[in-house]
Structure 1
Amino acid sequence: MEEPPTSPPPPIGDPLTNPSASFSSLDDLAHELASLDDLASRGSWRSVLDKVARARSLSLLRHPHDHLAYLSYNALALAKLRRFADASTELESLQDLESPEYKYESYPQIYPGRSGSMVPFCLRWLNCVIPIKLGSRQDGLDRFYALLDFVRGKLEERRNKGSSEEDESVSAWRRREVLVMNSIVGNHLSYKEFSVCLDLIRDMFRRGYSEDPVLVSRLGYIQMQIGDLEGAKSSFKQIEGMASEGKGRGSLSEVELKNLVNRNKAMLYLVGKDYVSAVREYEECIERDDSDVVAINNKALCLMYLRDLSDSIKVLENALERVPTFALNESLVVNLCSMYELAYVNHSDIKKTLSTWIARVAPDDFDSSCTRI
C-alpha cells in the first residue's frame, strides 16, 4: 500500500542547458522530436526504437544535440522494455558525460553564443538507474550521489548569479534535487536502511525543503515502519496544515495535496486495522480525482480485508474500465488476479479474459506476466 515510486524525468532535451524557449516547436529543437514525444507519452516504446533506428540509418540526425535527444529516447525505451543491458550499452557509448564533445561551446558554428552542457537530464538519471537494474547497486548509488552533487552545484551557480527561488531555472533544479533524493531514499528504503533515509530527509529539510509535502510524507512512512507512530502522526499533521493553509504544495497540485492528506490518514487507520475508516478516506480521494490509482488500489484491498471480495473486485474492474490509462499497472492487476483466485473457481478463464484485454490496450512496457496465467 505504499505510494508509487517517483517517475523518471521526461526524455526530451534539458530545457535549462538546451533552452527551447527560442524554438517554436519540439521539431525545431531536434528532428521530428514531437512525434517521438507523442509515442513516448502513449507508451509506444517499440515504435520509439523503430523511429530512432530509422533516423540513424538514414543519417537524419545532423547535429550533436539531435544525437543526444534521440539517444535519450532510445535508452529510455530500452529501459521501459526491461532491456537494461542494451540500455547500458547505449549509455556507455557516451563515455564521459562532461566531455567537451557534449558542450555547446565546442561547436560555435552550429550553436553561436551558447555554452553549457547539451546532455538531457534524463540521460544523467538513467545513467544512475541502469546499473541498479543490472544488479550493481553500489555503482548506481554512487552515481546517484554524484548526480545529487551535480544538481546542487547547478543550484549554487544560479543562486550566485542572483537568481531567486521563484526563478524558473532554480525551481526546475530544486525539483530535480527532490527527484534525485527520492530515488536515493527509495533505494535505501528497499534495503530497510531506515537510519540512512532519516538522515537524508532531515538534511533536505535543513536545505530548505521542510515544507515539501512529498518529502514530509516520505518521512512519515519511514517513521511508521520503524514504529514511531507519534512521529508519523506529527509529519502527516504538518502536511494537513499545508493543505488547509493553501501553501507548501511543492510540485503537487491542490488536488494532489489534498489526496495525499487523505491517503496519509488512511495509512494511520490501517495501522489500527480500522479498514472502514480507511475506505472512507480513499473514497474522498477518488471523488476528488477518479484517476488516483493508489487510492483505488488501497480501497479495494481494504474491502478485501473486510471480507467484501465482490465489492473489492468491482472497485478494480470499474477503474480499469473507466480510466485504463491510469489504472493499468502491475500492482493493481496482481491484486485483482489474487482476488479472482479467492473468489472464483473458474478464475483461470476470468484471468485469460483480463489478459486478452490487457494485450489489446496496455502500453509496450506493461508486464503481462503479472496475471499469473
Structure 2
Amino acid sequence: MDEPSPTTDPLTNQFGSLNDLAHDLASLQDLAMRGSWRSILDQVSRARSLALLSNPHDHLIYLSYNVLALTKLRRFTDASADLDSLHDFSSNHYKYESYPQLYPSRSGSMVPFSLRFIHAQLPFKLGNRQQGLDRFYLLLSFIRQKIEQKGSNSFQESAKIWRKRENFVLHCLIGHHLGAKEFNVCLDLIRDLIDHDYLDPVLISKLGYIQMQVGDIVGAKGSFHRVEAMLNEGYSSLSEVEFRNLVNRNKALVYLVGKDYVSAVREYEECIERDHTDVVAVNNKALCLMYLRDLSDSIKVLENSLERVPTVALNETLVINLCSMYELAYVNHSETKRTLSNWIGRVAPDDFDASCTRV
C-alpha cells in the first residue's frame, strides 16, 4: 500500500499478523518465495470464487499477486488484461478515505507499489517499448512527488522507502536505456542523481560500466575508485560483504577490458570466497576460464554452483552459458544437457524457462 497513516503503523498497531493485513497473505508470500506461481493463481481464483476477500485492499493485494504470477509465467497478455481492470490508479475507489468506517485512521492510495511497477514493466514484455518508457517516467514523477511531500520529514521511515523506490525505478530505467545502447540518456540519469548527492555505490558502479561501454576507460576507473573510497570511508548502504564484492567485480571488469583474464579470475574468486551465492562472480569466473581455454574448470565452476545453491544459482543466463560449454566440450552433449534439464525440472520454480537448455 502506498501511503501509511502518519500516526498509525499498520503492521504493528492495526494488525496482529500478515493475515490480518489481508486474507491469508502469509500463505501467498510463502508461495511467492518458493516460486510456486501456479499455486498462487489457484489460491487467488479460489479466494475470489468463494468471496473470501471482504475489504477493498484485499482485492488489490490479491490482484497484485495474480498479476505478478501471470507475469512470472510469461502470460503477459493475461496480466495486462487483469491490471487494466483497475482503470485509474488515482480513482477515489482506491483511496482509504473513501471507506472511513473500514479505515478510520488511514488516508492516501491503497494501490500497492508493486502494481504500479508491473504496470510500467508490462509494455516491454508485450513489445511496446515506448509505452513502457512513458509509464516508467510517469512512475518516477509520482515517486518524486511523494518525496517532495515529505519535505523536512525526509528522515521518516516512509520517506526512506520512497527514496529506495526512486533508486529502484531509476535502475530499471537505466537498464532499459542501456539495453537500447542509449548511453547518453543513461549517463544523464545517473549524473543527475550524483549531482544531487545521491550516493549509491551500485549506481556509481553502473556509471563506470557505461563509461566503459562508450570507451571512457579513464572515467570508468575514476568511478570505480570512487566506489572503493566509499567502502574505505565506511559508507553503509550495503553489507560489508556485498560492498567488497562490488569493488572486486568492478576491478575484474577493468581486467576484462584489458583481456587480463587471470587477474579477473582472481577478483571473482575473492567474491566467491566471501559469498558463494554471488552468481555474477560465479558466472563471470567461468566465462574467464573459458576464454583461457580451460573449459573443464569452467564447467566445474558452474556445475558446483548449481549443486551448492540451486535456488540462487539457477538462473537462465548461467544455464545458457553452461549448455554452451557442454556443446563445446562434449561430442554427445545432448545427453548431458538432457540430464541437466531433468534436474532443473525437479528443482526449478514455476517461472524458470526450461527451453534455455536447448534440449
TM-score (norm 1): 0.93
What residue number does 1:330 align with?
316
SS in 2 for 1:20: helix
Aligned match for 1:59, one of 33, 51, 64:
51
- Are 1:183 and 2:175 counterparts? no
Amino acid at match of 1:232: A
SS in 1 for 2:12: coil
Amino acid at match of 1:170: A
What residue number does 2:230 align with?
242
- Are 1:48 and 2:40 counterparts? yes
Whole-Å Cα distance in 2 between the matches of residues 81 and 16 of structure 1? 31
- Are 1:313 and 2:299 counterparts? yes
Whole-Å Cα distance in 2 between the matches of residues 164 and 370 of structure 1? 45
Deviations 1:152-186 (A, max 9, x none): 11111112xx3133x21111111100111111111
Task: Show the 5 A alignment for 1:158-237.
Answer: 158-159=150-151, 162-165=152-155, 167-209=156-198, 211-237=199-225
Larger mean Cα displacement after TM superposition, 214-223 or 18-27: 18-27
What residue number does 2:18 align with?
26
What is the aligned-residue RMSD (CA, Å)?
A: 1.2
Amino acid at match of 2:196: R
What residue number does 2:116 align with?
124
SS in 1 for 2:188: helix
Conserved 8 A contact 2:319-2:357: yes
CA drift of 1:263 comes to: 0.3
Larger mean Cα displacement after TM superposition, 19-28 or 103-112: 19-28
SS in 1 for 2:89: coil
Whole-Å Cα distance in 1 between the matches of residues 54 and 197 of structure 2? 43
Task: Show the 5 A alignment for 1:256-271.
Answer: 256-271=242-257
Conserved 8 A contact 2:4-2:107: no
CA drift of 1:15 comes to: 7.3
- Are 1:344 and 2:330 counterparts? yes
Whole-Å Cα distance in 2 between the matches of residues 320 and 295 of structure 1? 13
Amino acid at match of 1:163: N
CA drift of 1:81 comes to: 0.6
CA 369–275 in structure 1, closer or farther in 2 if over 3 Å, else same: same
CA drift of 1:137 comes to: 0.9
Whole-Å Cα distance in 1 between the matches of residues 294 and 176 of structure 2? 35
Conserved 8 A contact 2:44-2:66: yes
Deviations 1:14-62 (A, max 9, x none): 5747832322211010000000000001100000111000000000000
- Are 1:82 and 2:74 counterparts? yes
SS in 1 for 2:11: coil
Whole-Å Cα distance in 2 between the matches of residues 36 and 151 of structure 1? 27
Whole-Å Cα distance in 2 between the matches of residues 293 and 215 of structure 1? 19
Deviations 1:197-235 (A, max 9, x none): 1111111112331x2111101101100000000000000
**Mind listing any 5+ residue stretches in structure 1 that lack a counterpart?**
1-12
Identity of aligned residues (%): 69
Amino acid at match of 2:214: I
What residue number does 1:99 align with?
91
Amino acid at match of 1:366: F
